């Protein structure tokens, strides 16, 4: 028969133990989240650098070209469509603002600088995330849960060099080109809205566009596009590659949650990095 004499003593010890305060619980929670964030950022950095340095291989060129087609060429339609209507809305809104101050002549300047410096890189990156980034996460996640990535490791093929590196190289090439398409089509869309529909002089509009656009503005937009491309591809591939390590789900549901997380985190990081890069460029 077990001795129950120690039960009252242990109960008394629990009663004498001080309760955890609200402040202590607060710091415990955010301390744990900070440690988890630090671990995730470290893993993401190692993931990126290992993949990036495997780009420079001759045998990766065919896969890079295939990814350029997937990320770049197949995203042209959505980028052009969004760019055109973004330009039309900008032309309409800025016209009604500038006409109040008698400054319609500077409409071309406002349109070109707004698109080239900010809206072009940001909106193009978000559109590519929605189309190509989500597909990359789902594809790599399915390969992970179906053990195809494990099979690559078994065949002594580095999964990072085979799956991730070509996508990073394709992003470096595709994102600036798609951003340039977005800027150009946006300027044309604003011309349609302001000049053809609202009667602004076309010569004055395009003169302002050309005269106000400097090489520094274009270079800054391309730098943002490259930064966004690296962030998007790294985050989306990272989420898919480690989808089997999620603690909130498994199997097909883990792929869907990883895809959702990849798109959300990528969009948030686009906005955060946009501010950071802009602060260095100005």
> Over its length of 282 residues, how does the chain's per-residue pLDDT go in tens digits?
445 555 555 555 455 455 567 777 777 778 888 888 888 888 899 999 999 988 888 888 899 999 999 999 999 999 999 999 999 999 999 999 998 888 888 999 999 999 999 999 999 999 999 999 999 999 999 999 998 999 998 998 889 989 999 999 999 999 999 999 999 999 999 999 999 998 888 998 999 999 999 999 999 999 999 999 999 999 999 999 999 888 888 888 899 999 999 999 999 999 999 999 999 987
Q: What pLDDT, on the 0 to 100 scale, is given for residue 9? A: 52
| 3-class SS of residue 155 | coil
* Residues 205, 194: Cα–Cα separation, whole Å: 9
Give the pLDDT of residue 27.
75
Cβ atoms 175, 226 nearer than 8 A: yes
Token match 């962030």: residue? 231
Could you give the CA distance from residue 93 to residue 4 in angstroms, rounded to a whole number? Answer: 80
- Please report where in the chains the tokens 């120690």 appear, as a residue: 6
- What sign does the dihedral 59-62-66-67 (CA atoms) show? positive
Phi, psi of 213 (to 5 degrees): -90, 120
Task: Give the per-residue pLDDT at 2.
Answer: 47
At residue 263, the pLDDT reads 95
Helices 165-191 & 202-212, crossing angle to 10 degrees? 140
Residue 1 confidence (pLDDT): 45
């Amino acid at each position: 028969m077990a001795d129950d004499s120690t039960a009252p003593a242990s109960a008394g010890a629990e009663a004498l133990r001080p309760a955890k305060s609200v402040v202590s619980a607060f710091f415990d929670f955010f301390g744990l989240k900070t440690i988890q964030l630090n671990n995730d950022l470290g893993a993401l950095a190692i993931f990126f650098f290992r993949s990036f340095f495997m780009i420079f291989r001759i045998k990766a060129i065919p896969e890079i070209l295939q990814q350029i087609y997937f990320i770049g060429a197949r995203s042209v339609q959505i980028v052009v469509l969004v760019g055109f209507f973004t330009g039309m809305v900008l032309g309409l809104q800025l016209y009604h603002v500038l006409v109040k101050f008698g400054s319609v002549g500077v409409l071309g300047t406002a349109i070109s600088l707004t698109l080239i410096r900010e809206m072009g890189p940001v909106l193009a990156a978000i559109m590519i995330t929605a189309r190509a980034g989500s597909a990359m996460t789902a594809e790599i996640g399915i390969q992970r849960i179906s053990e195809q990535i494990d099979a690559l490791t078994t065949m002594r093929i580095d999964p990072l060099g085979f799956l991730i590196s070509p996508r990073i190289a394709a992003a470096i090439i595709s994102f600036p080109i798609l951003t340039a398409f977005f800027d150009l089509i946006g300027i044309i869309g604003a011309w349609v809205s302001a000049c053809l529909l609202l009667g602004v002089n076309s010569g004055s509009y395009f003169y302002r566009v050309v005269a106000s656009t400097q090489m520094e503005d274009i270079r800054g937009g391309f730098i943002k596009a490259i930064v966004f491309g690296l962030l998007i591809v790294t985050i989306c591939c990272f989420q898919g590659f480690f989808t089997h390590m999620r603690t909130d789900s498994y199997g097909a549901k883990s792929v869907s949650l990883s895809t959702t997380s990849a798109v959300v985190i990528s969009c948030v990081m686009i906005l955060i990095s946009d501010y950071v890069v802009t602060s260095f460029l100005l």
